[in-house]
Amino acid sequence: VLVVILGLFVLCGLGAAGVAYMVMHRVHQAGVRFDRTRGGGFAITGRDGSSVEVGTTGKLPSWIPSYPGSKPAFAVRAHESGSDPTGSAREGGEFTFTTPDTASQVLAFYEGKCKDMAMNVNISTASGEGGTVVAADEGDQRSLTIVATGSLGHTMVIVTYGRK
């Protein structure tokens, strides 16, 4: 009886391995690549060069202001290459950072930077320990959403961005 049960487990394992191999083979044929990234995350890249990165660290897009003294950690980042007739790429993502500054200082910094970039600040709320700034430029070509919450002497900031 034990030999039969063990044999069934071996057959199920072989079947699962065969299905996994078939799926990975089809994904490879479709031109999709899975890679580990430098920061311990992973990236999925399509045949056209579009990619999604999860759990990575990296450089911010050049149009996004970096908060002084912060080290952004990316939660997710997507990049679509050559997606419109002008050849520019669409991108979007989210990153986080912590700072010893208050939430109101962080929100004031980003609100000022959004105005410097000719973005309309659509929402600007602040309470004792947190708040939100939502901004977009004319035609919604670029957008930023900043959420800051503070407690115990540090502020956690989540920045979500998009560019068409």
Mean pLDDT of the chain: 84
Q: What is the pLDDT of residues 89-103, one digit of tens each?
A: 788 888 889 899 989
Give the model's pLDDT for residue 6.
92
pLDDT number for residue 116? 92
Q: Is the pLDDT of residue 58 over 70?
A: no
Which residues, including other chains, have CB under 8 Å from residue 124's CB and lie 6 or more apart?
Answer: 107, 111, 131, 132, 133, 134
Reported as a single tens digit per residue, the pLDDT across 2-46 is: 899 999 999 999 999 999 988 888 877 777 777 777 667 777 888
Check: pTM over 0.85? Answer yes or no.
no
